[in-house]
Amino acid sequence: PEEAQMKILVGYKRVVDYNVRIQVKPDGTGVVTDGVKLSANPFDDIALEEALRLREKGIAEEVVVVGIGPADLTAHLRNGLAMGANRAIHVTTADAVQPLTAARALLKLVEKEQPGLVLLGKQAIDDDANQTGQMLAALWDRPQATFASKVDISIESGADGKATVTREVDAGLETIEVELPAVVTSDLRLNEPRFIKLPDIMKAKSKPIDVVELASLGVDSGDHLKTTHYAAPPKRSKGVMVKDAAELVAALKAKGLL
């Protein structure tokens, strides 16, 4: 069989850690992020893990993590390198990046890097948009397989190959087949990401990170959504504790729920 030469691009966003209970600023201008723990978006860790497994299976040759954000994002990308990515690309911008801009920037990198597969998380847990992968696939005019819980890649000789992807949809598990190159977005059950070991952190220090300014990619930042106000969600009124099942059933009956 021919040697697999496929390159995989992985989106690697930094977000407020999923364990943090975020606070909305009293003046409604945003959420408090100063001094708050930041981590890799959990879905992106899963996407990266899948890419690393494909490399370990000999299907891919190189795994490249991509982050878009401010100068201090470099340290975050080192985590991706420590996890096992070969190299990183840091697209720098001081502005908040919305999905359409992220997709346009990723498209520029895709055109340059020519990956066989782009793996992204299905959504970022800060903006909860669930858009970037689909938008990239549209702009690239390539297939998308979103909410993936299983990915099988087969490379046929002389062809670009295909991916058979099981997707977590509301009705159950859907399987689709997509020609490569394609965009796949990871769902929670795709895999369990590995932990970073200390020697890997040392090794990651010597791995290359390309830095490129967002503006230099010629990305049209386009028309964005303007966020005009942030609010805390309405609080539910305090409930009552009941002493046993009988009292619970009586209370639900009284409300006409049983």
Mark the segment that binds other proteins (CB under 8 A) among 2-10, 69-77, 88-96, 177-185: 177-185
Which is closer to other proteins, CB of 211 or CB of 250?
Answer: 250
Using the minimum distance from each CB to other proteins, give the nearer residue, 19 or 206: 19
* Binding of residue 188 to other proteins (CB under 8 A): yes
> Taking the C-alpha atoms of 227, 229, 232 and 234 in order, what is their torsion angle to the nearest 10 degrees?
-110
By CB under 8 A, is residue 17 in contact with other proteins?
Answer: no
How far is the C-alpha of 93 from the C-alpha of 97, rounded, in Å?
A: 8
> In sequence order, what are the residues at sequence separation of 6 or more whose Cβ sits closer than 8 angstroms to the Cβ of residue 111?
none
Q: Which residue of 64, 77, 83, 103 would you call a contact of other proteins, by CB under 8 A? A: 103
- Contact segment (CB under 8 A) with other proteins among 50-58, 61-69, 75-83, 228-236 equals 228-236
Q: Provide the phi-psi class of 204: left if phi over 0, else alpha when psi is between -120 and 50, else beta.
A: alpha
Span 194-223, contacts to other proteins by CB under 8 A: 222-223
Burial of 258 (0-12, 13-18, 19+ CB in 10 A): exposed
- Hey, which residues between 19 and 78 contact other proteins (CB under 8 A)? 21-22, 24, 31
Q: Is 150 in the site for other proteins (CB under 8 A)?
A: no
SS3 62: strand
Quick one: which H or E segment has residue 166? strand 162-169
Which of these segments, 3-11, 71-79, 111-119, 137-145, binds other proteins (CB under 8 A)? 137-145
Of residues 53, 131, 201, 209, which one binds other proteins by CB under 8 A? 131
Q: Is 158 exposed, middle or buried (0-12, 13-18, 19+ CB in 10 A)?
A: exposed
